[in-house]
Copies of this chain bind each other. A is one copy, B any other.
Amino acid sequence: MTTASNTRTITKPSTETARKRSHKWVWLFEEGSADRRDLLGGKGAGVAEMTRAGLPVPPGFTITTEACNAFYETGKTFPEGLWDQVLAALAHLEKKTGKHFGDARNPLLVSVRSGAKFSMPGMMDTVLNLGLNATTLKGLTELTGDERFALDAYRRFIQLFGKIVLGIDGDLFEHELDAVKKKTKAESDAALTPKALLDVIDRYKGIVEREGNAPFPEDPVDQLRAAIGAVFDSWNNKRAIDYRNFNKIPHDLGTAVNVQTMVFGNMGNDSGTGVAFTRDPNTGEKVLFGEYLVNAQGEDVVAGIRTPQEIVQMETELPEVYRQFEKIAKKLERHYRDVQDMEFTIEKGKLFMLQTRTGKRTAQAAVQIAVDMVHERLISRKEAVLRIEPQQINQLLHRQIDPKAEVSLITTGLAASPGAASGKAVFDADRAEEMAAAGAKVLLVRIETNPDDVHGMFAAEGVLTARGGRTSHAAVVARGMGKPCVAGAEKLDVDLKGRKFTCSGITVREGDTITIDGTTGRVISGEVPLVDPTMSGALEELLSWADKFRRLQVWANADYPRDAERAVSFGAEGVGLCRTEHMFMEQERLPIVQRMILAPSAEGRQKELDLLLPIQRSDFEGIFTAMDGKPVIIRLIDPPLHEFLPSHETLLVEVTKLEQEGGHAKELEEKRKLLHAVESFREQNPMLGLRGCRLGLLFPEIITMQARAILEAAVRVMKKGITVHPEIMVPLVGHRTELQRTMAVIRHVADEVFTEAGTEVPYLIGTMIELPRAALTAGQIAEDAEFFSFGTNDLTQTTLGVSRDDAEGKFLQFYLTEKILSQNPFESIDRQGVGRLMAIAVDEGRKTRPGMSVGICGEHGGDPDSIAFCESLGMNYVSCSPYRVPIARLAAAHARLQETERDR
């Protein structure tokens, strides 16, 4: 018997093996290679590959991700053999560089960096200048001849080590630093004298001793051991976990740790540090793109504390180094067959490559680069298609500010992540999360962002920062999220405490609405009209390749002619869902619909339905015309009728008030009647009540009108020479008999319409599969239904017993945070529950009616993961909102290619 306790003893075989003492935990850079990313992490594999390629990389070694996992499995202890191997690698390093740990004359200093399989920029911890202590400080001073530099390196090291390795509150250090600056009247960190720095170092050591109950560790070997443990620890800090959740990165990969010889970009004006991309990650243009800072350490660039210079400046300032760097960049891109994001440092005129990795890019750039690389014969069309994550395209379909709109410009910053967004300004991440949870659209405004702000960025529509460049934290993370970002808007005077910013005499307080345009860098006061996106030539080309690879058709959900037109322009091959009731909701129609519902008799209903008929018919004519030659599935009325009526609560309050006041006899009487009528339509659980086909069975005159409107429209449009394929869809069928009765009504109307018209239009009648029972009895339902369309929203609600409206505010978020659910079942299909029902329905439906068309029209139809599932079931099409059609086209191609791969 399998019991719960059995599962607890299961461990991964790979780790079992890894436990052996002889296992290799540590790899020298020259031993690794790019294909060992799983083991060495992206950064480790990158420097190894560069080392092997003979590029100038500071020597070092990598501790594997396996070591990290073993560390967690044994309750945060180093696995057997690890430490010995680290010491051996260290000895090798000392030999190679001629520098030695703790050496007073030529001390070895190293950086200790995390590096997971997938890049998680800024999420985990890094320690620099490790190896400094009172002894080596002297050596560094002598070696560089720059006491100020050495002291500054030392105080930075103590600060970083204290915060990250020893877990001491960073503000304590900042506080002492500020105190010394004030005391010595230094205006900036750089203005601190060696004496002042010595004071800082003393104060820092005091903090460490006080907070950590032990003096600052002097022995570099102790420092290294502690730093490695801290980097392992940082794999599971809150922001890293959040990031992985958002990016769907598994939590059991572990991080590698890279120990690398320090080089210094802050050794004068012939030194510097920078990051660069082989192509522009915003536009995809084939130019070196990046920034560098003279006389600075790498952290200064990434953190966005100083605004750096464009990389092209380097050509003038350090021409030789620039040419060398350009050559290396080209070589790396060709080597990896993809855009590289490189970190480099120049130490006294000597270029060192610190890292290379596949460059993150905007969707626009990704598409442009993929298409360009095909034309450059660097990659194949299939590779180009597979290289674009379908979700990424969403960014390209972000809305932009209406070019015709008059805007009230506040300032302009860097266009750091494209797209435009409006929202209430909010000045810290927690508040952003709070207000967004309450339903507000917010824009996060910060001086600069750091990893602690990520949850606020998730919650916001977009991000605005006063400092930092296009490779700053805010920019990189916002691009990854596909959210608009304007960075480095330096004129903003941000008062975080006061929850406001001022700029050009304008004050914006928390809650005031502003708009940012991440495509141009504009920051605008108030809300601005946005316009819908169109597709670029590169995207069109890429999607035309994707279309060749996919099998699934992509249809769109469209309720109005304008939706249908847009869907076609995005490549939709049919309308998978036209919700007729949305037409009922329009302002001038609603009163008719209400009168219809409240009519006391079938005759009374009929009178109002006669008014609705020509209106619905004309909508359908528009859609049929837009979809010329393509199928159009129209769903009969679905929602419970009370959704069309005034609010019960409002009426109740009104009636109570009128009663209290006395008089108003006539008004009171009428309101009471209305209240009574609305009451009679109220339901405890309207989701499971009188709706869908149940409505049409109780009130056949409603669907009679709808069927007539559809078929009359089809006849009219056909007579104009347009090809129409109307398909009528019956919602919420649970029993075959429901469909049979409804079909009888429709067939009867069709006979009448065709006789009147003297012509016939071929049409189909099918059903939504949106109740578990429908899926379970699909074999029977397919006796009558001519097609199936999965309504996975409702199918998810009923299969899981979760009302989406209620759950999202109450427990769904909790479930996701607590990992009771690994994904939101309303975003991606729950394969084991809902998916199993779908598989039954496809299988048994087609057994009854071979070759029957089966599609999906729930929101999942635009979700790549769900599209992959639909592909695996052999469905005919997915239908999604018009804006998601391009995503779905690409996702369908991915799904098919992966499916074909699997079948091999």
Contact = CB atoms under 8 A, between A and B. Distances in A.
B850 A797 contact: no
Contacts of A4: 740, 743, 783-784
A49 B820 CA distance: 70
Contact of A801 (B737, B773, B820): B773
A777 B800 CA distance: 11
A881 to B, nearest CB: 23
A794 to B, nearest CB: 7
Nearest to A697: B820
Nearest to A4: B784
Interface string A753-779: 000000000000000001111001100
A534 to B, nearest CB: 38
Interface in A782-833: 783-784, 794, 797-803, 805-807, 810-811, 814-815, 818-821, 830, 832-833
Interface string A735-748: 10110110100000
B684 A805 contact: yes
Contacts of A772: 772, 798-801, 833, 837
A7 B783 contact: yes
B851 A698 contact: no
B848 A814 contact: no
A604 interface: no
A561 B681 CA distance: 40
Interface in A855-890: none
A656 interface: yes
B820 A737 contact: yes
How many copies, total? Answer: 2
A734 B657 CA distance: 45
Given A697-B811, A783-B4, A833 B689 contact: no
Interface of A: 1-4, 7, 649, 652-653, 656-657, 660-661, 683-690, 694, 697-698, 732, 734-735, 737-738, 740-741, 743, 770-773, 776-777, 780, 783-784, 794, 797-803, 805-807, 810-811, 814-815, 818-821, 830, 832-834, 836-837, 848-851
A805 B685 contact: yes
Nearest to A739: B4
Contacts of A784: 4
A612 to B, nearest CB: 23
Given A660-B657, A771-B800, A803-B683, A776 B734 contact: no
Contact of A688 (B661, B732, B802, B821): B802
27 contacts: A2-B783, A7-B783, A649-B652, A652-B652, A656-B656, A656-B657, A683-B803, A684-B687, A685-B685, A685-B805, A685-B806, A687-B688, A687-B803, A688-B797, A688-B798, A688-B807, A689-B803, A690-B810, A697-B811, A697-B818, A697-B820, A735-B821, A737-B821, A772-B799, A772-B800, A776-B833, A798-B801
A841 to B, nearest CB: 12
A635 to B, nearest CB: 16
Contacts of A697: 811, 814-815, 818, 820
Nearest to A691: B801
Contacts of A737: 819-821
What 5 A-B pairs come out closest when comparing CB atoms? Answer: A773-B833, A688-B803, A685-B803, A689-B806, A660-B660
Given A3-B849, A688-B797, 12 more contacts: A1-B850, A660-B661, A687-B688, A689-B806, A690-B807, A734-B801, A738-B820, A772-B799, A773-B834, A776-B832, A777-B832, A798-B798
A802 to B, nearest CB: 6
Nearest to A682: B806
- Most chain B CB within a 10 A radius of its CB, from A697, A734, A801, A818: A801
Contacts of A1: 849-851
Nearest to A7: B783
Contacts of A738: 820
A819 to B, nearest CB: 7
A400 to B, nearest CB: 35
B660 A777 contact: no
A2 B848 CA distance: 6
